[in-house]
Structure 1
Amino acid sequence: MPSPMTDSVTVHMAASPDAVWDLVSDVTRIGEFSPETFEARWTRGSTGPEEGAWFKGHVKRNGVGPTYWTLCRVVAADPGREFGFTVMAGDRPVNTWRYRIEKASDGVAVTESFELDANPALRLYWTLLGWARGRTNRKGMRTTLERIRAVVESPA
């Protein structure tokens, strides 16, 4: 059974695994899809999606604010299968986001998920406010995946 500090949403897409991976792994396009992160750029010498690469995401929390930058490290970069990154607070992981892509008979099933680090501060936060943040994350994941689907399913 999954931890209460994690959740996921899956959306079917009539697309190839590579087409979906190309979108989810291109962090410079995140603003097209995410309702909270409106831009991102590779940083610390990184230029593309590979394990260990770094990028910064510009976030507008809950779509209304506050607005801030987050530093992220790529933890999974398996073309056509998975892209994942961890949001960092200093040198500590806070939240890991993943996109898993599985072949289906007529396209792919794409799952976006998050998992909060199980440190004591985050456990307390999730105990007090997890119900609200979890709902926001779930809605945001569905929005993100539906926007990606609209792009990959649109005629070329």
Structure 2
Amino acid sequence: MPRLRTVTDSILVAAAPAAVYAVVSDPTRTPEFSPENRGARTGSTGSLPVGAVFTGDNERRGFRWITECVVTAADPGARFAFRVRAIGGARRRLRTGIASWEHRLEPVTLPDGTAGTRVTQTWTDERRMPDPVATVFDAVATRGPFADFQRRNLATSLHRLKTLLEGPAAAEPTA
């Protein structure tokens, strides 16, 4: 069976799309909600435009790596996306398709009648390796299928983002 290459999850947030966009489009803020990202270097401050390149510092179970990413979509208040185009240690980076990440923001009316945003986060596996090789790699790197691991990561990221934007009372899922 071929591996699942795309995982998507959504959550409702009691914040305007512009406020959500300000957070998700600034990679230096990603550690505030990501379970793996530990920081980013962007060369600028705030939201990044299409074509901007940034470096992410990541960690999983004590293993650290660096990613080089390029912004592929920057539509304020609506969509922010980037592609991971290199991965590796501080000096050696494998330049190949790794993954793409996207945040889509949709204005909504929340169940209590107030304005908010549906945040949809999508991860797409862009690794160019045969499925049997990916299965072995994934078992070592994530203790199972990478898509299952990323499904949990997306849920964690979205709930942390909700808490960040709404405050500690927002810890319970709403979508």
TM bucket, shorter chain:
0.7 to 0.9
Find 2:165's aligned residue among 141, 152, 155.
152
4+ long deviations beyond 2 Å: 89-93, 122-132
Within 5 A, what are the aligned runs for 1:26-41?
Answer: 26-41=26-41
Percent sequence identity is 34
Give the superposition deviation at 1:126: 4.0
* Counterpart in the other structure of 2:173: none
Find 2:64's aligned residue among 52, 55, 67.
67
Give the superposition deviation at 1:116: 1.5
For structure 1, the 5+ residue unaligned runs are none
Find 2:125's aligned residue among 116, 123, 129.
116
Find 2:106's aligned residue among 102, 108, 112.
102
Give the superposition deviation at 1:136: 1.5
In structure 2, the residue corresponding to 1:55 is in which secondary structure?
A: strand
Amino acid at match of 2:51: G
Amino acid at match of 1:99: H
Residues 57, 71 of structure 1: alpha-carbon distance in 2 compared, 3 angstrom cutoff: same
TM-score by length of 1: 0.85
Paired positions, count: 148
More helix by share: 1
For structure 2, the 5+ residue unaligned runs are 87-93, 111-115, 169-175
Bigger radius of gyration, 1 or 2? 2
* Counterpart in the other structure of 2:17: 17
Cα deviation, 1:62-98, whole Å, max 9, x if unaligned, reads xx13201110000011100111110112543220000
Residues 145, 75 of structure 1: alpha-carbon distance in 2 compared, 3 angstrom cutoff: same
